[in-house]
Amino acid sequence: MSNCFQIESFGLEGAIFPPNKALEPRMEFSRCPVVYDSLFFLDFNESGNCIVGASEVAGTFWEGTLLYFKDDKHMENFDYTGHYIYTTTSDGKFIRKNIIALAEDTGNINILSLDEDSTLRPINYFKVIERIPQIAVWRNSSRILCCSQRSVIIWDADSIDRKPCEKFDNYHIESVTCIDTLKKDTNLFLSGGRDRTCCIWDVRAPVPPSVLYTNEFSSISTISWNQDDDNYIVAGTQAGDVYLLDKREPKDFVSVYHCFDVTVNRISFNNSKEFAVCGDINDVLILNSKSDSLEEIYKNAEHTGPVKDLKWHEGILYSCGFGRCLVKHVRQQPA
């Protein structure tokens, strides 16, 4: 089931009114929320509330809109009850039921509070300077993990001094592109980068990271930790492959599957065996990792453009991407 919108034209029969409107520079954020063409992320909290991040990245004034939905049914119809207008962003996550973190392209992590009337208001922020491609969180924790350039940084959303809890520079020799956490343990997380390496981190260790895997051919574009069986990790590459890794056997991979001929954007586990994959293409795949091999068990091409994020909620997969397209993936049950 998809909810895709076409880009609006300038007006009747393509006319622009007033005639010089297209030449006027835009200097202020919109007063009313705009659902832009590019959907970059979505997330659910434990209560089933949802957020979707839309950004305008084609014009001269880059603006983003965060949309808040009471549940997945309202999200499917874009029937939002709360919104926040901000600069463009790459990622957003629920930290707690009513606290949200946004990674803005300005280099800020903006912390928002969700009031009882669904009003979203900023309550804190952290400055990283460079763009933040991804953030991750832990369960029952106010800590936020982010990556930027060759750094991996941990913040506390409740901090009043706005200084990082931990900052790790130059363990990757090129930009860090992706991160993930072991949700139950605030000491453990993953990172991947353009240096083609995946690292597993333990902040308690004298040297926190160790190299889990180095790809021979391509940079690491996304990484995901299996929360139900934390021995296993899946990494996606710029070349369109996904690698099943076992932390007990570092420096090698268990299995590989070629998903696309484009970059893998996100990987999301449903359970200990199934995970979904999306990339800079309109396809969404679900793979099964039984018997230490990867098998495609589902494919959907309803999106109208690149798919940027996907999340599971109560066993159902949702994905979003360009073309203002949000898809609910309902798999047919075997007869």
- The pLDDT of residue 29 is 84
Whats the size of the chain, residue-wise? 335
Sheet holding 89-96, edge to edge: 89-96, 99-104, 108-114, 120-127
pTM: 0.90
Tell me the domain boundaries of the chain: 2-329
Q: β-pairing, 307-313 with 295-300?
A: unpaired
Q: What is the DSSP string of 214-230?
A: E-SSS-EEEEEE-SSST
Q: Where are the alpha helices (DSSP H) in the chain?
A: 72-76
3-state secondary structure of 99: strand
- The pLDDT of residue 30 is 86
- The pLDDT of residue 334 is 56
Quote the CA–CA distance of 192 and 214 in Å, as a whole number.
Answer: 9
Q: Using an 8 Å Cβ cutoff, are 127 and 90 in contact?
A: no
Residue 122 has which token pair? Answer: 């900023």
Sheet holding 284-288, edge to edge: 264-269, 274-279, 284-288, 295-300
Rounded (5°) CA angle 281-285-287: 145
Q: For residue 6, is pLDDT > 50?
A: no
2: pLDDT confidence band, cut at 50, 70 and 90? low
- The pLDDT of residue 61 is 82
> Can you name the residues that pair with 69 across neighbouring β-strands?
50
3-state secondary structure of 281: coil
3-state secondary structure of 22: helix
- The pLDDT of residue 12 is 46
**Higher-confidence position of 5 and 239:** 239
What confidence tens digit (pLDDT) does each residue in 193-224 have?
Answer: 999 999 999 999 999 999 999 999 999 999 99
Q: How many CB atoms lie within 10 A of CB 305?
A: 17
Residue type, 155: W
Q: How many CB atoms lie within 10 A of CB 282?
A: 19
Query: Under the phi-then-psi rule, with left for phi > 0, alpha for psi from -120 to 50, and beta for the rest, what region is 189?
Result: beta
- The pLDDT of residue 94 is 98
What confidence tens digit (pLDDT) does each residue in 259-302 have?
Answer: 999 999 999 999 989 999 999 999 999 999 987 899 999 999 99
11: pLDDT confidence band, cut at 50, 70 and 90? very low
Quote the CA–CA distance of 170 and 234 in Å, as a whole number.
Answer: 23
Give me the percent of the chain exceeding a pLDDT of 90.
81
3-state secondary structure of 292: helix
Q: Which CATH number fits domain 2-329: 2.40.160.20, 2.130.10.10, 3.30.230.70, 3.40.50.300?
A: 2.130.10.10
- The pLDDT of residue 23 is 58
**Higher-confidence position of 211 and 331:** 211
Quote the CA–CA distance of 30 and 33 in Å, as a whole number.
Answer: 7
3-state secondary structure of 118: coil
Quote the CA–CA distance of 53 and 278 in Å, as a whole number.
Answer: 17
Q: For residue 1, is pLDDT > 80?
A: no
What confidence tens digit (pLDDT) does each residue in 63-99 have?
Answer: 999 999 999 999 999 999 999 998 888 999 999 999 9
What confidence tens digit (pLDDT) does each residue in 131-168 have?
Answer: 999 999 999 999 999 999 999 999 999 999 999 999 99
Quote the CA–CA distance of 323 and 148 in Å, as a whole number.
Answer: 27
**Higher-confidence position of 190 and 61:** 190
Q: For residue 330, is pLDDT > 60?
A: yes
